[in-house]
Amino acid sequence: MSETSDYLNGYRHDRKQAVRQSSTELFDLQSKVMLIGDSGVGKTCLLVRFKDRAFLSGSFISTVGIDFRNKVVDVEGTRVKLQIWDTAGQERFRSVTHAYYRDAHALLLVYDVSCKSSFDNIRAWLGEIYEYAQEDVVIMLIGNKADITTERVIGIEDGERLAKEYNVAFMETSAKTGMNVDLAFMAVAKDLKMKKTRKPNDPLFSVSEYIDMKKESNKCKAGCYLNEVLEGSELHLPQYVPPPRNPELEARIERLKAQQANREYRDMVKNVDKVEVGIMLF
């Protein structure tokens, strides 16, 4: 046998165990994931948060065309390489990105909880997915910028309802705080592993159930959520969840505020009288 065929046989054998992507990065399975959704919803920020554990704040640089980054994650001993494609949300690039849907294993469809039009456009995005992607593609609806409170216009129930209607997985994330970002990508990696290793009688893996189970197990007793803890990755700080509302206390605070305002008003009127009297005497 020639040296070349020895090499190729060795290479084929290796590929069964782990595919060599570069001299330093080995993996067992590979998955193509795409981030899609309107411009400005935070697709690039989600990718950067997952890949580099950073947040791109400040001026917004819209993606041109399409870009990708790789990350190898460990799913219970299996190295899954996620090839994450970050698409441009702007309409003018739509024809470019359609071509990439076909061989995607998972699509993360993102809207911004503070932008109603990005949520309203989700139905149109789903239409495109059904037209261009594979039938068994994993679809995850993501409500990003969950850290925003005052400008929020889309509630978590709205996202849940829409996801239920289309039978797709759902979660809210924040690229800013990191909330649920790892969980979204890990659920995709886990789905791929389960598909590849599933035996005929094994139950089907459900991304939605996995997400719900992880969110439940990450809920701590003090009423806060812990982020997904990845195998071998860093632990994030708990996210702050405001305490439940207390209508009685709120009413008392309002009464006190009104009393205070009355007092201030009376003092002000008294002072105005004094000034007026002073002016008249003068």
**In terms of CB distance, is 18 or 148 closer to ligand GTP?**
148
116 or 266: CB nearest ligand GTP: 116
> Is residue 87 close enough to count as binding Mg ion by CB under 5 A?
no
Q: Which residues contact 67 (CB under 8 A, 6 or more apart)?
A: 85, 86
| Binding residues vs ligand GTP (CB under 6 A) | 39-45, 56-57, 60, 62-63, 88-90, 144-145, 147-148, 174-176
Q: How far apart are CA 46 and CA 172, in angstroms?
A: 12
Out of 63, 144, 177, 180, which residue is the one contacting Mg ion (CB under 5 A)?
63
Q: Which does 265 bind (CB under 5 to 8 A by kind): ligand GTP, Mg ion, none?
A: none
DSSP 8-state secondary structure symbol assigned to residue 225 = B
Which residues, 6 or more positions from 122, have their beta carbon under 8 angstroms from its beta carbon? 37, 109, 111, 141, 162
Nearest approach, Cβ of 4 to ligand GTP (angstroms)? 45
Q: Which is nearer to ligand GTP, 75 or 104 (CB)?
A: 104
Partner whose footprint covers residue 45, from ligand GTP, Mg ion, none (CB < 5 to 8 Å by kind):
ligand GTP
- 105 by Cβ neighbours in 10 Å (0-12 / 13-18 / 19+) ranks as buried
Query: To which H or E segment does residue 175 belong?
Result: none
Q: Which is nearer to ligand GTP, 173 or 193 (CB)?
A: 173
64 vs 261, which CB is nearer to ligand GTP? Answer: 64
Kindly tell me which of 151 and 264 has the beta carbon lying closer to ligand GTP.
Answer: 151
Which of ligand GTP, Mg ion, none does residue 79 bind to, with CB < 5 to 8 Å depending on kind?
A: none
Q: Which residues contact 135 (CB under 8 A, 6 or more apart)?
A: none
Footprint (CB under 5 A) of Mg ion, residues 17-56: 43-44
Q: What gap in Å lies between CA 181 and CA 34, rounded to an integer?
A: 14
Binding positions for Mg ion, 211-270, rule CB under 5 A: none
Cite the DSSP H helix spans in the chain.
3-17, 43-52, 94-101, 116-120, 122-132, 156-166, 181-197, 207-217, 247-281
> How far apart (Å, rounded) are the C-alpha atoms in residues 130 and 138?
12
Q: Tokens representing 88? A: 């441009």
Per partner kind, with CB cut-offs from 5 to 8 A, the member of Mg ion, ligand GTP, none near residue 42 is ligand GTP
> Smallest distance from the beta carbon of 263 to Mg ion, in angstroms?
53
* Contacted entry of ligand GTP, Mg ion, none for residue 11, CB cut-off 5 to 8 Å set by kind: none
Contacting residues toward Mg ion, per CB under 5 A: 43-44, 63
